[in-house]
Structure 1
Amino acid sequence: MLRRLWPLTLRGTGAALLALTCFVVANEVGIPELMYFGMLLVAVLVAAVASLYLTRHADSVTRSLAPDTVGVGRASLVRVRVGVRTALPTPPGTWTDTLPPGLEGAAAGVFPALGSGLRGSDRVVNLAYTVTGVRRGIHHLGPLRVHSADPFALARRSTLYGQRTRVTVAPAVIELPPLTGLAGEAGGTLQTQNNQPGQGADNLIARPYAPGDSMRRIHWRATAHRDALMVRQEEQEATPEATVVLDRGVLRWSTEALHEPGADDAFETAVSACVSVVSRLVRDGYGVSVLDSDGAALAERIDGGDTAAVEDLVTQFATVTARRDDHLPRLARQFAGVMTGPVIVLTGRLDPADVDALAPIVHHSTFAVLLAASPRSGALDRAGDVGWHAVHLDPDGDLVQEWAAAGERGVTRALR
């Protein structure tokens, strides 16, 4: 703190002490030349400090990220554009950008020297660095700090340019293998027919616009994401459905999951698994509904092949947290009287009693997968007995292997 308040460098501090010594000696010994020399040193120090306040006034600091949403474990390039006004030429300095806990990277470098701007317009300095997402949520980059010194390195100044930039850190999307365990029952558009006749659609996949296509078939969401005109691709009249349930009841997780994203490792694993499973199913041709354990939709239904909608879902899930109530034991009511495709349930704490409450869902699904982050003793075995393809969702484990294990268990049961 003292170093920040003291404006002189080590060299400048030595010059100040020398000036003080000159004043004392001149007064005691009676050598006026020492007095003049001390006054000259003081004048130089004052000029050095003053020069720092006549240079590098930043009018604006703007940042852009590519990609604009940072995924956990993924890198993004940050470009910083600094508009600078300076009356005098300035030597090079250094800069650092303040990183929030949710991001990490080497946000520092050399701030270039600038010539006098008395006769010209504001100067623009472009800086760049790379950040990696480490914690899901909404974070802010900045402020930018610029460290500068006078040409003789007698004085220093650290300036904060206060504009901050909002950054979204989305959950990690992991590449999962397709559901190949029960191809005839759990396959996508090319493998299974719709279990709800009349509910099909002919607009599952967006393709580039071609001359002669009707303007009524423009796929606006895909057009906005890809910056090119896209139209709805005609498909067969079969829309296999899949349902992914993310249980957000706080009783299944730690209380930290209730307050902010990224606080509970088990819940973070479930969120990442949720978006990864949705991404896999959509690419396999399923129309996917993402629900909470009370049946409430956590996002709009996503058509098979609509990867742009998956990107929207991933960004939306950057702020998902746990909730206070617990509806998992009543989840089976949401599937009463209907038949659907794969149902994937992701939860935290799981007791054998919970498994018994979820058992009816198995009879309404072609492929029922249960992923539990904190299963109690015997819960997974009990789930397997009633027909679930149950796997431990280990926060320190490999989601790809766990997902593949669910399919392998499906094959084993099918052969029995």
Structure 2
Amino acid sequence: MATKRIERRLRPTSRAIGLVVVGVLLGAAAVVFGRGELLALGGFLVALPLVAYVLRLIWRPRLEAERTIYPTTLAVGDRMRVVTEVRNRSWIALEPSSYLDLLPGAEPSSVGGVLPAIGSRINRNEDKRRRRVAYGVDSMRRGVHEVGPLFFDNMDGLGLTRRVLKIGEATEVEVWPRVVDLPAMSVPSGKSGGEVEAGVAQSGDSDDVLTRDYRRGDPLRRIHWRATAHAGELRVRQEEHHAEDTSVVILDTSGAPAVEEPKAPMTIIDLMNEQASPSTAVDAEFELAVSLAASVLARFHRFGYETELFETHAALDGDAESTRTPSEEALEGVMRRLMLTQPDAERREACAEVVDDISRVARTPVVYVHRHLGGEGLAAIRSLSSVASPALALLVSDGPVPPATLTSFTEAGWNVAVYSPARARPFTPVLELEATV
């Protein structure tokens, strides 16, 4: 474990070892040359590190930490604020010390620094008995992570002894996929067809505007302040239609081809975790695909659709399971699934099962987020255009998409949008094509 590797017992520094060596040499010189002052100086140099070591063994610092994290659930790209208050409960003051808060995916400069001296418990000034460590991070990766514990690299005033102190415990945070506003999609208002209007009144000034309860993830610009004041709780303009319709999103979770992938920059967690590989591969295509799937689900949800998420691959010992979210419920469940999902070549392809499940539903919007899936599985997914209204394929690739792939979708009745993680604006389509049938 990383914490076991970092936390070390009290040990002498190179300065202490150097003093002992010099003291021994002076003692030897005193014997050879018969100089008593050299013997006294040598004895002092040897005794000083030993006394410092014994005193530090007897008086060990006792520190307490109270960490506050906001928010504990965030999306990729969001800024997380961490504030840790450190108190000294021992009878001796703590010298200025370097600190490090373990946080995966963070740069050392953002989670580390030097903390001023902390006064002992007998110090009457409360402000001198405590110190605050605060920082913000916006580079968290998708997944479940632990923030902390806090480590102090503590050295005595003479620089003769050193120990690393572990303060507090780790706090778990969830990092959901990033959700963005995608370009407008043609979303039918119901089984009868037609387009959706954004509420009864586009301006939101009319008293007849339809509103609903605020849900996590709703943009602040959609808050209807007049309805909020009347109801006493947050209300947002309702841009949705009849809530009985279902929308389907399919995420390609096939494993990437066996090619050399770009490596993530070394982070402090990689350097200090003895079980971690030298660097961690980042599948930029898959991360963008997950964010696109999450964004599409959020868009359908705002329009009042019941949403259903499928993955093209299932566990070896399980069936292809979907995550269904009714229109009146929040998207926490499906976002947590997307938070944890990973491409895995060992997972079983379940496209036939997915197509069979979707085919039982009347004509419904179907969005397929494509990466590397091919063969019969891709052919089965393309066949869904016959039951989809509309059928939209989002192709994610860091390189040019073969024209044959684009044609295979458009000729099968799919509208196509191509996205690339290599672009400065990855959520802006590189290419958009309409179905030819």
Same fold (TM over 0.5): yes
After superposition, residues 117-196 of structure 1 pair within 5 angstroms as 117-118=121-122, 123-161=129-167, 163-179=169-185, 187-188=195-196, 190=198
> What's the secondary structure of 2:253's corresponding residue?
coil
Offset, 1:129: 2.0
Q: How far 1:234 moved relative to its partner?
A: 9.3
- Residue 91 of structure 1: how far off its partner (Å): 2.5
1:371 and 2:371 aligned? no
In 2, Cα distance between the equivalents of 1:117 and 1:168? Answer: 36
Change (3 A) 1:91 1:134: closer
Deviation at 1:292, TM superposition (A): 3.1
How far the C-alpha of 1:327 sits from its partner, in A, is: 2.1
Q: Give distance in 1, aligned partners of 2:80 and 2:113.
A: 17
Aligned to 2:213: 206
3-state SS of 2:368 partner? strand
Q: Say if 1:370 and 1:391, in contact at 8 Å, map to a contact too.
A: yes
Paired position in structure 2 for 1:20? 24
Corresponding position: 1:342 with 2:365: yes
Return the letter of the residue paired with 1:287. E
Q: Quick one: structure 1 residues 359 and 156, their matched pair in 2 at CA, closer, same or farther if it must change by over 3 Å?
A: closer
In percent, how many aligned pairs have the same letter? 24
Partner of residue 45 from structure 1, selected from 24, 43, 49 = 49
Q: 1:318 aligned to 339, 342, 364, which one?
A: 339
Give yes or no for contact 1:343–1:369 (8 Å, CA) kept in 2.
yes
Question: Is the alpha carbon distance of 1:134 and 1:45 closer, same or farther for their aligned partners in structure 2, counting shifts above 3 Å?
Answer: same
SS in 1 for 2:349: coil
Structure with higher helix content: 1
Query: Which amino acid in structure 1 is aligned with residue 405 of structure 2?
Result: A
How much is the aligned-residue C-alpha RMSD, in angstroms? 4.2
> Cα distance 1:320–1:358, how it changes in 2: closer, same or farther (>3 A)?
closer
Q: CA deviation at 1:8?
A: 4.1
Q: For residue 299 of structure 2, what is the amino acid of its counterpart?
A: R
Is residue 81 of structure 1 aligned with residue 107 of structure 2? Answer: no
Letter in 2 for 1:291: F
For the residues of structure 2 that align with 1:236 and 1:128, how far apart are their CA atoms? 41
Give 3-state SS (helix, strand or coil) of 1:113's partner: coil
Q: Return the letter of the residue paired with 2:300.
A: L
* Alpha-carbon distance between aligned partners in 2 of 1:171 and 1:255, rounded to the nearest angstrom: 25
Corresponding position of 1:197: none
How far did residue 190 of structure 1 move? 4.7
Deviations 1:157-188 (A, max 9, x none): 33334733333332222332332598995744
1:178-257 equivalence runs, <5 A: 178-179=184-185, 187-188=195-196, 190=198, 205-206=212-213, 238-239=242-243, 240-250=245-255
Q: What's the secondary structure of 2:53's corresponding residue?
A: helix
Give the residue type in structure 2 aligned to 1:206.
D
Provide the aligned length of Structure 1 versus Structure 2.
Answer: 370
Q: Output the amino acid matched with 1:364.
A: V
Distance, in Å, in 1 between the alignment partners of 2:358 and 2:211 is 24
**More deviation, 82-91/273-282:** 82-91
The residue number in structure 2 matching 1:279 is: 298
Say if 1:55 and 1:87, in contact at 8 Å, map to a contact too: no
8 Å contact 1:73–1:134 — kept in the other structure? Answer: yes
User: Which sections of structure 1, spanning at least 5 residues, go unmatched?
Assistant: 193-202, 209-227
Counterpart in the other structure of 2:272:
none
Read off the aligned partner of 1:86 and give its amino acid letter.
Answer: S
Of 392, 400, 403, which aligns to 2:427? 400
Which stretch shifts more, 178-187 or 30-39? 178-187
The separation in 2 between residues aligned to 1:7 and 1:127, in whole angstroms, is 26
Partner residue in 1 for 2:411 = 385
Kindly report which structure 2 residues correspond to 1:303-314, keeping only aligned pairs within 5 A, or say none. Answer: 303=327, 309-310=330-331, 313-314=334-335
Q: What does residue 30 of structure 1 align with?
A: 34
